[in-house]
Amino acid sequence: MDARAKTAEDLLEVLHDGRPVRPVRGTRAADLDARRVLAWWTGFRDQVLARRGELDGVAATLVETVLAADDEVGALPPGAPPADLFGAVARGAGRVQGPLQPLARWFGELSQACSGDVGTRELALAAEHVGVAGTGGGAPVLRAMAPAARALADADAAGVPAVSALTAAYRAAADGARGTVHEGSVDPVALTVAWFFERGTVV
Protein backbone atom coordinates (compact mmCIF):
# COMPACT_ATOMS: atom_id res chain seq x y z
CA MET A 1 0.00 0.00 0.00
CA ASP A 2 1.50 3.34 -1.01
CA ALA A 3 1.81 6.24 1.44
CA ARG A 4 -1.16 8.13 -0.02
CA ALA A 5 -3.48 5.14 0.30
CA LYS A 6 -2.24 4.46 3.84
CA THR A 7 -2.95 8.07 4.83
CA ALA A 8 -6.47 7.78 3.44
CA GLU A 9 -7.02 4.55 5.36
CA ASP A 10 -5.81 6.12 8.63
CA LEU A 11 -8.16 9.08 8.23
CA LEU A 12 -11.14 6.82 7.64
CA GLU A 13 -10.49 4.78 10.76
CA VAL A 14 -13.14 5.16 13.48
CA LEU A 15 -11.71 5.55 16.97
CA HIS A 16 -13.10 5.18 20.50
CA ASP A 17 -10.86 6.21 23.41
CA GLY A 18 -8.00 6.36 20.93
CA ARG A 19 -8.42 2.77 19.74
CA PRO A 20 -9.85 1.51 16.43
CA VAL A 21 -13.50 0.45 16.37
CA ARG A 22 -14.30 -2.48 14.10
CA PRO A 23 -17.65 -3.35 12.52
CA VAL A 24 -19.47 -6.27 14.12
CA ARG A 25 -20.51 -7.57 10.67
CA GLY A 26 -24.16 -8.20 11.37
CA THR A 27 -23.81 -10.38 14.45
CA ARG A 28 -26.33 -8.37 16.49
CA ALA A 29 -30.13 -8.31 16.35
CA ALA A 30 -31.62 -7.92 12.89
CA ASP A 31 -33.18 -4.47 13.44
CA LEU A 32 -32.06 -1.38 15.34
CA ASP A 33 -34.27 -0.36 18.27
CA ALA A 34 -34.43 3.06 19.89
CA ARG A 35 -31.49 2.40 22.20
CA ARG A 36 -29.23 1.27 19.40
CA VAL A 37 -30.24 4.12 17.11
CA LEU A 38 -29.40 6.60 19.88
CA ALA A 39 -26.03 4.88 20.37
CA TRP A 40 -25.41 5.22 16.64
CA TRP A 41 -26.13 8.94 16.73
CA THR A 42 -24.14 9.68 19.89
CA GLY A 43 -21.18 7.66 18.62
CA PHE A 44 -21.15 9.65 15.40
CA ARG A 45 -21.50 12.94 17.29
CA ASP A 46 -18.60 12.03 19.58
CA GLN A 47 -16.45 10.96 16.63
CA VAL A 48 -16.91 14.30 14.87
CA LEU A 49 -16.25 16.33 18.02
CA ALA A 50 -13.20 14.31 19.04
CA ARG A 51 -11.61 14.40 15.59
CA ARG A 52 -12.60 17.86 14.43
CA GLY A 53 -8.91 18.63 13.95
CA GLU A 54 -8.89 16.30 10.94
CA LEU A 55 -11.75 18.12 9.20
CA ASP A 56 -9.60 20.71 7.45
CA GLY A 57 -11.36 23.86 6.35
CA VAL A 58 -14.91 22.83 7.24
CA ALA A 59 -14.57 21.71 10.86
CA ALA A 60 -16.54 24.65 12.24
CA THR A 61 -19.49 24.06 9.91
CA LEU A 62 -19.55 20.30 10.43
CA VAL A 63 -19.36 20.65 14.21
CA GLU A 64 -22.09 23.31 14.14
CA THR A 65 -24.29 20.93 12.12
CA VAL A 66 -23.75 18.04 14.51
CA LEU A 67 -24.35 20.17 17.62
CA ALA A 68 -27.52 21.70 16.17
CA ALA A 69 -28.83 18.20 15.50
CA ASP A 70 -27.79 17.03 18.95
CA ASP A 71 -29.70 19.89 20.58
CA GLU A 72 -32.87 18.59 18.94
CA VAL A 73 -32.09 15.02 19.98
CA GLY A 74 -31.49 16.17 23.56
CA ALA A 75 -34.96 17.70 23.69
CA LEU A 76 -36.64 14.34 22.98
CA PRO A 77 -38.19 12.34 25.82
CA PRO A 78 -36.22 9.28 27.00
CA GLY A 79 -36.82 6.25 24.82
CA ALA A 80 -38.11 8.23 21.86
CA PRO A 81 -38.63 5.95 18.84
CA PRO A 82 -36.15 5.89 15.95
CA ALA A 83 -38.44 7.95 13.69
CA ASP A 84 -38.50 10.78 16.24
CA LEU A 85 -34.74 10.67 16.70
CA PHE A 86 -34.04 10.76 12.97
CA GLY A 87 -36.56 13.57 12.59
CA ALA A 88 -34.84 15.55 15.34
CA VAL A 89 -31.46 15.14 13.65
CA ALA A 90 -32.94 16.24 10.33
CA ARG A 91 -34.48 19.39 11.88
CA GLY A 92 -31.31 20.41 13.68
CA ALA A 93 -28.87 19.63 10.88
CA GLY A 94 -31.19 21.24 8.34
CA ARG A 95 -30.86 24.60 10.10
CA VAL A 96 -27.18 24.81 9.21
CA GLN A 97 -26.48 25.65 5.58
CA GLY A 98 -23.44 23.62 4.71
CA PRO A 99 -22.04 20.58 2.91
CA LEU A 100 -23.93 18.03 5.02
CA GLN A 101 -27.38 19.10 3.75
CA PRO A 102 -27.83 15.85 1.75
CA LEU A 103 -27.14 13.88 4.93
CA ALA A 104 -29.71 15.98 6.81
CA ARG A 105 -32.26 15.24 4.08
CA TRP A 106 -31.45 11.53 4.38
CA PHE A 107 -32.32 11.68 8.08
CA GLY A 108 -35.64 13.27 7.18
CA GLU A 109 -36.37 10.52 4.67
CA LEU A 110 -35.40 7.89 7.24
CA SER A 111 -37.76 9.42 9.78
CA GLN A 112 -40.60 9.07 7.27
CA ALA A 113 -39.64 5.48 6.41
CA CYS A 114 -39.61 4.22 10.01
CA SER A 115 -42.72 2.98 11.77
CA GLY A 116 -40.86 1.06 14.47
CA ASP A 117 -37.37 -0.42 14.68
CA VAL A 118 -34.97 0.27 11.82
CA GLY A 119 -34.34 -2.51 9.33
CA THR A 120 -32.52 -2.73 6.03
CA ARG A 121 -35.71 -1.88 4.14
CA GLU A 122 -36.08 1.47 5.93
CA LEU A 123 -32.40 2.31 5.38
CA ALA A 124 -32.72 1.54 1.68
CA LEU A 125 -35.97 3.47 1.22
CA ALA A 126 -34.44 6.56 2.80
CA ALA A 127 -31.37 6.29 0.58
CA GLU A 128 -33.24 6.11 -2.74
CA HIS A 129 -33.13 9.85 -3.46
CA VAL A 130 -29.45 10.02 -2.51
CA GLY A 131 -28.49 7.44 -5.10
CA VAL A 132 -30.26 9.45 -7.80
CA ALA A 133 -28.75 12.75 -6.66
CA GLY A 134 -25.27 11.28 -6.58
CA THR A 135 -25.27 9.83 -10.09
CA GLY A 136 -22.09 10.89 -11.84
CA GLY A 137 -20.20 12.02 -8.73
CA GLY A 138 -20.46 15.69 -7.85
CA ALA A 139 -20.08 17.15 -4.36
CA PRO A 140 -17.84 15.27 -1.91
CA VAL A 141 -20.78 14.43 0.35
CA LEU A 142 -22.42 12.61 -2.56
CA ARG A 143 -19.17 10.94 -3.57
CA ALA A 144 -19.48 9.04 -0.28
CA MET A 145 -23.26 8.91 0.13
CA ALA A 146 -24.28 7.74 -3.34
CA PRO A 147 -22.22 4.51 -3.21
CA ALA A 148 -23.54 3.90 0.31
CA ALA A 149 -27.10 4.34 -0.96
CA ARG A 150 -26.52 1.80 -3.71
CA ALA A 151 -25.03 -0.63 -1.20
CA LEU A 152 -28.12 -0.30 1.01
CA ALA A 153 -30.38 -0.99 -1.95
CA ASP A 154 -28.35 -4.09 -2.80
CA ALA A 155 -28.46 -5.23 0.82
CA ASP A 156 -32.23 -4.82 0.89
CA ALA A 157 -32.55 -6.89 -2.28
CA ALA A 158 -30.36 -9.58 -0.71
CA GLY A 159 -32.40 -9.59 2.49
CA VAL A 160 -29.48 -9.03 4.86
CA PRO A 161 -29.92 -7.58 8.40
CA ALA A 162 -29.43 -3.91 9.17
CA VAL A 163 -25.93 -4.07 10.65
CA SER A 164 -24.67 -6.09 7.68
CA ALA A 165 -26.30 -3.54 5.38
CA LEU A 166 -24.60 -0.68 7.23
CA THR A 167 -21.26 -2.50 7.01
CA ALA A 168 -21.69 -2.67 3.23
CA ALA A 169 -22.73 0.99 3.18
CA TYR A 170 -19.67 1.96 5.21
CA ARG A 171 -17.31 0.12 2.87
CA ALA A 172 -18.94 1.78 -0.14
CA ALA A 173 -18.80 5.22 1.50
CA ALA A 174 -15.16 4.68 2.46
CA ASP A 175 -14.27 3.71 -1.11
CA GLY A 176 -16.06 6.81 -2.35
CA ALA A 177 -14.25 8.95 0.21
CA ARG A 178 -10.89 7.54 -0.82
CA GLY A 179 -11.67 8.75 -4.32
CA THR A 180 -11.59 12.32 -2.99
CA VAL A 181 -7.99 12.13 -1.74
CA HIS A 182 -6.01 15.25 -2.59
CA GLU A 183 -2.40 15.69 -1.46
CA GLY A 184 -2.73 12.74 0.90
CA SER A 185 -5.94 13.86 2.61
CA VAL A 186 -9.49 12.59 2.23
CA ASP A 187 -12.08 15.32 1.67
CA PRO A 188 -13.36 16.08 5.21
CA VAL A 189 -17.03 16.03 4.21
CA ALA A 190 -16.75 12.63 2.55
CA LEU A 191 -14.75 11.47 5.56
CA THR A 192 -17.56 12.55 7.89
CA VAL A 193 -20.10 10.56 5.88
CA ALA A 194 -17.90 7.45 6.08
CA TRP A 195 -17.63 7.88 9.85
CA PHE A 196 -21.39 8.11 10.08
CA PHE A 197 -22.01 4.81 8.35
CA GLU A 198 -19.28 2.99 10.23
CA ARG A 199 -20.73 4.11 13.55
CA GLY A 200 -23.92 2.34 12.55
CA THR A 201 -22.03 -0.96 12.43
CA VAL A 202 -20.90 -0.98 16.06
CA VAL A 203 -24.13 -0.40 18.03
pLDDT, average across residues 41-63: 93
pLDDT tens digits, residue range 24-48?
A: 444 445 789 999 999 999 999 999 9
In a domain, 21, yes or no: no
Whether residue 111 contacts residue 77, with contact meaning beta carbons closer than 8 Å, is answered with no
pLDDT, average across residues 52-76: 94
In a domain, 114, yes or no: yes
Q: How far apart are CA 112 and CA 58, in angstroms?
A: 29
Question: pTM for the whole thing?
Answer: 0.83
In a domain, 67, yes or no: yes
pLDDT at position 21, please?
55
pLDDT at position 15, please?
55
Confidence of residue 18 (pLDDT cuts 50, 70, 90): low
Name the domain count of the chain: 1
In a domain, 89, yes or no: yes
Q: Which residues contact 88 (CB under 8 A, 6 or more apart)?
A: 69, 72, 73, 75, 76, 80
Q: How far apart are CA 174 and CA 49, in angstroms?
A: 19
In a domain, 45, yes or no: yes
In a domain, 20, yes or no: no
Confidence of residue 203 (pLDDT cuts 50, 70, 90): confident
Whether residue 108 contacts residue 88, with contact meaning beta carbons closer than 8 Å, is answered with no
| CA distance readout (Å), 12 to 133, 170, 190, 191 | 23, 10, 10, 6
In a domain, 108, yes or no: yes
CATH number, domain of 137, equals 1.25.40.340
pLDDT tens digits, residue range 128-175?
A: 876 554 444 568 888 899 899 999 999 999 988 998 999 999 999 999
Q: How far apart are CA 196 and CA 202, in angstroms?
A: 11
In a domain, 17, yes or no: no
The amino acid present at 167, given as its one-letter code, is: T
pLDDT at position 136, please?
45
Q: How far apart are CA 12 and CA 112, in angstroms?
A: 30
pLDDT at position 123, please?
92
pLDDT tens digits, residue range 69-126?
A: 999 999 999 999 999 999 999 999 999 988 888 888 889 989 999 989 999 999 998 8
Domain residue limits at 48: 3-11+31-199
